[in-house]
Structure formats: C-alpha cells, structure tokens
Structure 1
Amino acid sequence: MNNQTLSYSNLEEESVVSNDYSTTIGALILGLVFLLGVPGNLFIVWSILARIRRRSVTTLLILNLACADGFLMTLTIFFVIYLAMQTWVFGEVMCKGVFYLCNANMYASIFLITLMSVHRLVAVVFPRRVSFLTSKKIVKRIIIGMWVLVMVISIPSLVFRDVREDIDDTNEIRLVCAPNHTMPRYVRFQYAFETVAGFILPYTVIIVSYVLILQRLRQTKFRRKVRSEKLILAIVVMFGLFWLPYHVINMIQVAAEWYNEGTPMKDKLDHIVATSRAVTSALAFISSCANPVLYTFAGKSYIKQNGFAFMARLFEGTSLDQTGTKKSRAMGTMGTSSVDSTNSPAVTTLQNGK
C-alpha cells in the first residue's frame, strides 16, 4: 500500500508546467486573455453601475457574470507567471487559494449563463404562468444562493492541491502547485464531479432552454429574430467550444485511473493529460473574456450615437422586458403576447442571447 501510494504521488507531481510547448502556448493565451478580459469586464461593470439607474433581471445577471469573469481574469496573472517561470513562487496558501477561487468562478460563470437561459425561457415561453419566478426579488435570492453553492462545491479544489518539489528533465528542482490526491478514487471523484456539475448538467439546461426559446420565437409573427438567433447560437457554440476540451481532458484523466500503474494504456492517457492540461485550461479562460466582445458586437449600432455609453444603452433595453410583460397582460384580450411586446431591437439582440 505504501509503494502504491508513493508511486501515485510521484505521478501527481507531474503538473501543468511539465511540458515546455504546452506551457508556452498556455502562457501566451492567458496573457492575451488577461489584457482583453480584465478591462472588458470592468467596462461592463462600470456601464451597469454608473450609467444604468433601472436595472432589469437580465442586467443583474450580466453584472454578476461580469464580476465573476473579471475576477477570474485577474487570477490569470498568477498562472501566466507560473507557466512562464515554470515554478510556483507564491507559497502554499496562495496555491490553494488561487485554484479554489478560479474553480469557484468557473462554476459561477457557468451557472450565471444557465440562469440567464432559464430566465429568458420563462420570460418567452411561460410569461403568464410563472412570471413571479422572474421578479428581481426572487432572482436576487437565487443569485445569493448560487454564490453560496459555488463556494461549497469548489472545496475539492482547495483540499486536493498543495505545493511540492519536482525534478525536471534537467535535474533542476522546482516548486509546483499540483494536485495531492493520494488515491485514484479521489481523482475520479474530483474531475468527474467537476465535469458533470460544471459542464454537462448546465450546458444541457442551456441547450434545452434555447431550443425552446427559438421554437417559441418562430411561432411569433415578428421576424426581427434572425440576428438574435445567430447571437444565441454563437453564445452556445462559444461556451461549448472553449470548455469542451478542458472537460475532455478531465474525463481522460478519470479514465486513466481505471488502469493499473505501468500499463501502456494508462501511460498513454497520462501523457495526453500532461501535455494538454495547460492549453485546454487556457482555452477555457477565453470564454470569460469573450463575453464583452459579444456584447460589443450586439451593441455596435449604438456606438456611433452613444460613444462609451453604448454598452449601457444596450443593457437599458433589458428593462423593457418587465414593462413589456405587464403591458402584454393588460392587452391580453387584444391577442398581444409578452414576447411580441418585448421585441425591441435592444431586447431581441441582447436578451435572446444573454
């Protein structure tokens, strides 16, 4: 048992900085993500807090998403330095803390996107039956509960991580912030749970929500939804495209733990994980800096007229959703639905997407 544990610990010491090519690509990607993501998300936060007085449910969700993404982007500087120096210089507390916060913000970003999808689904498909679920008071409570949830389910990344010494190919000793699993079942638990809770389940909800939304929009008599449908598809595809490689590597690592030490298949799977982890992790970060780009694309028609206030002008359209829903109820006898009454360019462009 001691020999097995020792062998397994040696395997776990192989960190994301064990491959020069992978770490170089990862560092470059994260550097660009930091330069684009931090100012982009801060601009969104500023636009909402400083320029929007009346904030809709969608705007509140966008604000929380921008805060989560922006905070996640600030953490990338630690990973850039880690990959560039190929040694962890920030100590064990920061090792655990940075990876924990990174994991928590990963869950928060995904869950907030899921909440946006569900909120839009309720507003479009079930505007009268369950409209109370989309009130700002209820949504604020859900957001608080979501943040508590992500802080709890991120605990494994805090527990299964520490700083240890590693010897590279040149026999130089370096410090790595690496997983500290002592048994294969801990690896299977952490990465399988992360993929199921942080990708498979929420992404399934997002896909189902948008399929139902698009079906409902196609039933309306208004035809201004072509651009919105493209934006919806772009958001869904972007989310899956950037996160799928990361979670594929997670599942490969889980699969590797079902094979005995020294077997050819285990060695092959371990090699794939070791050479791909840095790049796939960096790609996952791109999804958080891509949101400001998508919002800019959605609000480009406001840029010439509103300048730096174009983002606020775009988000202000979301407040029409609540007003439009109330109007549609009052005009129910006239055959006007809440979907039709909220079909302004700003609403259809942004809310149908995010």
Structure 2
Amino acid sequence: MVSNATTATFSLPITTSAKVGISILILAFTLGFPGNLFVVWSVLCRVRKRSVTCLLVLNLALADAFVLLTAPIFLRYLAGGNGWEFGSAACKLVHYLSSVNMYVSIYLICLMSMDRWLAVTRPFLSQRMRTKRSLLVLLLGVWVIAFLLSLPMPFYRSNLRKVLPNNITLRFCVPYHWSSVGHRVFQYTFETVMGCLVPFFLINTCYSSIICRLQSAKFQRRGQGSRLILIIISAFTVFWLPYHIINTIEVILSGFWSISISISISSLLPQVIGLLQGSESTLAAARVARPNVTAFAYFSSAVNPILYVFAGSSHIRQAGLSFLGKLLEATNSESRSTSTFGRSGHTSSSRDDISMLQTLSVKLGKPFKSRQGDGDNKAARETDEPELKTLASVEPLE
C-alpha cells in the first residue's frame, strides 16, 4: 500500500481509456440505480396481477440495482489515481458480483423466451406450469446457476503490486492467470460459451419456433409482452457482444501464440515471426480494449429502465408514474389471450371434425366416440345442436 505522504504528493494521470470508463460508470449509476429502484417499486406497488414476465422483470431489476452499487468503487479506482485501495477480497468480490449479474440477466431472459414459447406453442401446458411454486423454483434455480457459473471469476482476479518510477508502489485489481495460456483460454471460453452461446441458442430456438407457429396459424398479433422481451434481448446483445468478442479474440490469439512459439522448423521461421508480430499487436489491442468493453457491458444494468419508458410511452399520459405497472399488467392479459387463442383454435377445429365424423357415423350405422375433454363438453352444452350434445357426452376414446 502507498503511504499517506506518498499518496498526497503522487497520483497516476487519468488516461483516455479511464476517462471513457468513468463517463460510462457515472452515467450508468445516475440513470440505472434510481431507474431500477423505480421498476421494483412499480412491480411491488402498482401491479395488482403479476404475470410471469412481470416477476422476471422484477428479478432482473433487483440484480441490476444490486450490481450498480459497486459503481462508486470502480469510479474511485479509475479516478483516484492511487490504484486499488480496497484490498484483495473486495477486488475479487466486486468482479464476482458483476459476473453473477451477467449470468442472472441472460438466464432470466432465457426464462422469458421459454415462457413466451410455451404460451404460444403449448398453451395448455403453459397454464398448468404457471404456478407460484414452479416460478419460485425456477427463479431460485437461475440465481443458484449464476452464483455457480461465476465461481471462476474470483480465482482469475488479483490485487497485484506494481512498482512505478520514483519507487512508487501501487496495487491494481487486474485479471491474473499465473502466466498460463491454458487458464486464460479456459476463463474466456467458459464465459463466452455459458454467458453467450448457450443462452442465445436457447433464445433463438424459442423465438424461431414462435415465429413458425404464428405464421402457420396466421396469427400476427404483436403483444406488449413479446415486444418488451425482444427489447430486453436486443439491449443485452448490444452491450455484452463486444465483451464476448474480445474474449474470443484473446482465446484464439492466445492459443495461436502458444502454438506458434513451439514451432522450431527453420524453413518456417520467417513466416512464424511475421504471424507472431501480427497476432501480438492484435492481442495487445484486445487487452487494452477490455476495460472499456467491460464498462460498456456494465451499462447494460442501467439501460433496461430507459427502454421500459419507451415501451410504455403510450401509458404515460393516462397513468403517469404508474405507466410501468400498466405496461407489465398488459403482459398478464396478453398471456391469457394467447392461451385463449390456443384453446379456441383447437376447439373450433375439433368441433368441425366432430360434426363431420358424426355425419359419417350416422351414414355408416356405427357409433362415434369423441376424444375431446371437458372444454369441448362445455362448448357442446352451450350449442343448440342436439347431435353435438350427444357426442360430447360420450367418454373419450382410449
């Protein structure tokens, strides 16, 4: 640690990269922390009937607000000019919490996408699964998975001491892989696969299935819930994709550097040296860019409340500060209408099939037993057709 006298007379100059990071963090904390608290207040105090999407948005806002509390620490680190002053434990903890926030955010978005997929493609199953108990289990599972997937982060962060000119000694909270290419490749590959490739594969699969389902059903209704989820997905992609691109560059070039160093064939030596020089400069540029893309990803925790304002702009004049509650309540009504669409489409086609088969069975002189359940029995009781009443009262055919 630096003595008080030294700290008073010396501080590191603030680089351009640090200034960019400071600007992003100030903006993120100023907009994001009160914005996410507003989302939490809206869900708890202004939404009467909370849908699955509404509760997932609540958890997302809680995670974002919690991680934004670490912003003042990073601001002091970047702007203070005295290195990392908070000790090794805090160095590991704040980066661990940031990693937890990344995994919680993306896997909550996965749950939103899967819920939308079930509501459109499996409406009956969706209604059975939409219980308070099952949702709490899923939410707990997301948080547990996020804490487990983030465990490598504190092992690859260290509060290292560095001796500067004039014998000034400062500490810096930086990535540390024990000079091992294997550890660096493992960490960044693990983050990109589990924090980007796997969840986005699930999201794309869900929405591809939804699009095919709606096109085949000629049902083009665009609901508030689907639009809100797509906005959240787009924002997460924009802010986290540069971070994962830097991860991928470091993984590829670190592995290439290691392989190239081991080549000792003299005839290939000039080519290898040229490739090494090119990859070394690109790798250095990626490492310089890492703090900035990390700060940019950090801003994703602040942007969601801003997006909710635009998504709920049609409710602002009418509802005022309760506009977000109206927007989230609309996701609940949309879920019911989506399930009603699934049931009504099934019932209508089934009723036509029953009428046709009933007519054929009369002509052939053979009895016909319906496979429909209680929903069609109710529809049959409400109709004035005596034949359909008779068919609906027959037990399902096994």
Shared topology, TM-score over 0.5? yes
How many equivalent residue pairs? 320
Which moves more between the two structures, 77-86 or 211-220?
211-220
Q: Choose which of 9, 23, 27 in structure 2 pairs with 1:32.
A: 27
Distance in 1 of aligned mates of 2:332 and 2:194 = 31
Cα separation, partners in 2 of 1:213 and 1:169, compared to 1, 3 Å? farther
Q: Secondary structure at the match of 1:165?
A: strand
Distance in 2 of aligned mates of 1:162 and 1:108 = 24
- Quote the offset at 1:288 in angstroms: 2.1
- Quote the offset at 1:266 in angstroms: 4.9
Query: Structure 2 counterpart of 1:268, which letter?
Result: S
1:144-186: per-residue Cα shift (whole Å, max 9, x none)? 0111111111111112212111245787432101123112211
Q: Secondary structure at the match of 1:128?
A: helix
1:142 aligns with 2:138: yes
Q: Secondary structure at the match of 2:203?
A: helix
1:294 aligns with 2:294: no
Q: Is the 8 A contact 1:19 1:274 kept in 2?
A: no
Q: Choose which of 264, 268, 286 in structure 2 pairs with 1:273.
A: 286
Identify the residue that residue 317 of structure 1 maps to in structure 2.
330
Cα separation, partners in 2 of 1:231 and 1:46, compared to 1, 3 Å? closer
Q: Is the 8 A contact 2:127 2:339 kept in 1?
A: no
1:273-301: per-residue Cα shift (whole Å, max 9, x none)? 23201111111122222211221111111
Identity, in percent, stands at: 38
Identify the residue that residue 333 of structure 1 maps to in structure 2.
347
- Quote the offset at 1:226 in angstroms: 8.9
Identify the residue that residue 73 of structure 2 maps to in structure 1.
78
Q: Is the 8 A contact 1:104 1:150 kept in 2?
A: yes
- Quote the offset at 1:210 in angstroms: 2.2
Distance in 1 of aligned mates of 2:37 and 2:130 = 26
Distance in 1 of aligned mates of 2:88 and 2:98 = 15
Alignment of 1:1-354 (within 5 A): 20-86=15-81, 87-129=83-125, 131-167=127-163, 172-182=168-178, 183-220=180-217, 223-225=220-222, 234-258=231-255, 259-260=257-258, 263-321=276-334, 323-324=336-337, 327=340, 331=344, 332-334=346-348
Distance in 1 of aligned mates of 2:192 and 2:341 = 41
Distance in 2 of aligned mates of 1:335 and 1:305 = 40
- Quote the offset at 1:264 in angstroms: 2.2
Distance in 1 of aligned mates of 2:107 and 2:125 = 24
Query: Structure 2 counterpart of 1:165, which letter?
Result: R
Distance in 2 of aligned mates of 1:96 and 1:310 = 39
- Quote the offset at 1:121 in angstroms: 1.0
> RCO (CA 8 Å, sep 6+): is it higher in 1 or 2?
1
Cα separation, partners in 2 of 1:275 and 1:169, compared to 1, 3 Å? farther
1:176-234: per-residue Cα shift (whole Å, max 9, x none)? 01123112211111111001000111122222222332333344555552988776654
Which moves more between the two structures, 74-83 or 90-99?
74-83
Distance in 1 of aligned mates of 2:98 and 2:175 = 15
Q: Is the 8 A contact 1:57 1:135 kept in 2?
A: no
Q: Secondary structure at the match of 2:161?
A: strand
Structure 1 vs Structure 2 CA RMSD: 2.8
Distance in 2 of aligned mates of 1:110 and 1:168 = 40
Query: Structure 2 counterpart of 1:149, which letter?
Result: I
Which moves more between the two structures, 295-304 or 122-131?
122-131
1:109-141: per-residue Cα shift (whole Å, max 9, x none)? 111111111111111122124543343321210
Q: Which runs of 5+ in 2 are unaligned?
A: 1-11, 262-272, 351-398
Q: Is the 8 A contact 2:20 2:292 kept in 1?
A: yes
1:33-61: per-residue Cα shift (whole Å, max 9, x none)? 11111111110001011222322211111
Distance in 2 of aligned mates of 1:158 and 1:330 = 50
